[in-house]
């Protein structure tokens, strides 16, 4: 019995290390595969297309006075011939509408809509704005992009070329994230760049295999006829995370979707302070939890996910600080930082983001626990003057 007990204790001590090493190996393979897919997508789109279709660029804007002029100007400067730009001022109270009207007077290619009407019952604010915009669009392709983005002159051209080259009906791109405050620098790139490259199978997503569906609403290029045949944003009007929901609609009906690197196409500054960072990501986590009800299957996966997350981002640091056996912990931490370093180098992120990896991971844990608590209590999150419930 003593020998069996000693054997069990030894294996229990090794279990978190074995888990971490296996997961790190799998994540390394996923990261290399995703980087290879991004290179392939760029290579396929390097040749000019035979015909460039008409594109409607659609921008929902609510209280975006600080960024809307730069966004609209960058879209009017596109090197794309057949393009229309429509922006919806969604009940802004900070002067966004006035800025848009001034820009429209200077350039007839810009169409501005204003609305202050209450949302229809059950609608997400952004989904309703995108729905309103799509009703006026005349393009063969619809580019939904956020008002806090700034586009390079080849942004629309690059997206269309990649969508046609990859033969997909929905293409989403990850912008280069602009970060300034400490809360942005810790969390934004970790959640928007690092985690997706490690956890989403970009190749399987493109090939239509059953896999995690993901998209980025900062750049969504949709084939208009396909979008409308699926009901557009009206078909996902209740979803808190509209980009994931729209991608799921396309995938569920057999239409091709792809995620690509849009760092050379556009930049985005999502949030400006710790309050916006916390509430913005909390809203997205609440949306993810709402999309995955607490049934027996979810409850079975949740502990496994928590164990894996702890083995990767928590226990190695605990072992390094408190354990007498620090070698494996050091290997795990160095391996994790190597993966983050590859992403930082590939995306040309600030080098100091590498050192914030542990703090970012622990902050995500706090976000997740808070989102679970809020969902259990049906608490509301306010975002741009509207309440959201998980």
Do residues 242 and 124 touch, judged by C-beta distance below 8 A? Answer: yes
Domain boundaries, the chain: 15-35+278-389, 45-175+216-270
pLDDT for 302: 67
pLDDT of 288: 57
Task: For residue 125, give the nearest of 214, 213, 216, 63 by alpha carbon.
Answer: 63
Q: pTM here?
A: 0.88
Decide: helix, strand or coil at residue 52: coil
Comparing CA positions, the residue from 69, 164, 64, 67 lying closest to residue 110 is 69
Rounded alpha-carbon distances, angstroms, from residue 181 to 89, 109, 186, 195, 273: 27, 35, 9, 20, 6
User: How does DSSP assign 17-40, residue by residue?
Assistant: HHHHHHHHHHHHHHHHHHHHHHHH
Give the C-alpha separation, 240 to 162, whole Å: 28
Return the pLDDT at 295: 42
Provide the 3-class DSSP secondary structure of residue 221: strand
Predicted pLDDT of residue 104:
94
pLDDT, mean of each 10-residue run, the chain (390 residues): 55 83 96 94 80 94 93 96 94 91 92 88 88 96 96 96 95 94 91 92 89 88 97 88 90 93 94 86 66 44 81 90 80 96 93 92 87 69 57
Nearest residue to 189 via CA among 353, 383, 375: 353
Q: For 151, list phi and psi in degrees, rounded to 5.
A: -105, 135
Give backbone dihedrals phi and psi of 355, rounded to 5 degrees, phi first.
-75, -20
User: What is the CATH architecture assignment of 45-175+216-270?
Assistant: Alpha-Beta Complex (3.90)
| pLDDT score, position 122 | 83
């Amino acid at each position: 019995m003593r020998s069996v007990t000693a054997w069990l204790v030894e294996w229990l001590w090794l279990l978190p290390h074995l888990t971490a090493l296996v997961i790190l190996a799998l994540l390394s393979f996923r990261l290399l595969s995703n980087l290879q897919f991004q290179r392939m997508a760029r290579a396929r789109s390097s040749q000019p297309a035979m015909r460039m279709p008409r594109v409607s660029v659609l921008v929902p804007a609510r209280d975006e006075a600080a960024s809307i002029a730069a966004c609209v100007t960058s879209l009017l400067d596109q090197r794309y011939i057949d393009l229309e730009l429509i922006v919806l001022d969604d009940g802004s109270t900070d002067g966004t509408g006035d800025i848009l009207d001034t820009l429209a007077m200077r350039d007839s290619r810009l169409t501005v809509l204003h609305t202050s009407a209450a949302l229809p019952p059950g609608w997400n604010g952004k989904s309703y704005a995108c729905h309103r915009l799509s009703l006026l669009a005349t393009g063969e392709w619809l580019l939904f992009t956020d008002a806090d983005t700034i586009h390079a002159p080849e942004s629309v051209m690059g997206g269309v070329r990649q969508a046609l080259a990859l033969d997909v009906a929905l293409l989403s791109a990850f912008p280069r994230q602009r970060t300034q405050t400490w809360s942005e620098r810790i969390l934004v790139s970790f959640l928007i760049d690092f985690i997706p490259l490690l956890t989403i199978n970009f190749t399987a997503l493109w090939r239509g295999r059953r896999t995690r569906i993901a998209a980025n609403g900062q750049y969504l290029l949709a084939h208009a006829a396909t979008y409308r045949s699926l009901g557009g944003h009206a078909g996902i009007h209740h979803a808190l995370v509209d980009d994931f929901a729209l991608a799921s609609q396309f995938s569920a009906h057999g239409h091709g979707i792809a995620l690509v690197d849009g760092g050379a196409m556009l930049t985005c500054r999502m949030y400006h302070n710790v309050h916006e960072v916390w509430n913005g990501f909390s809203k997205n986590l609440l949306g993810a939890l709402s999309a995955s009800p607490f049934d027996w299957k979810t409850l079975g996966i949740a502990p496994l996910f928590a164990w894996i997350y702890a083995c990767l981002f928590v226990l190695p640091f605990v072992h390094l600080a408190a354990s007498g056996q620090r070698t494996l912990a050091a290997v795990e931490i160095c391996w994790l930082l190597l993966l983050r370093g590859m992403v930082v180098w590939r995306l040309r992120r600030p080098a100091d983001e590498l050192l914030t990896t542990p703090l970012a991971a622990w902050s995500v844990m706090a976000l997740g626990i808070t989102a679970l608590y809020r969902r259990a209590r049906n608490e509301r999150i306010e975002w741009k003057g509207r309440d959201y419930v998980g």
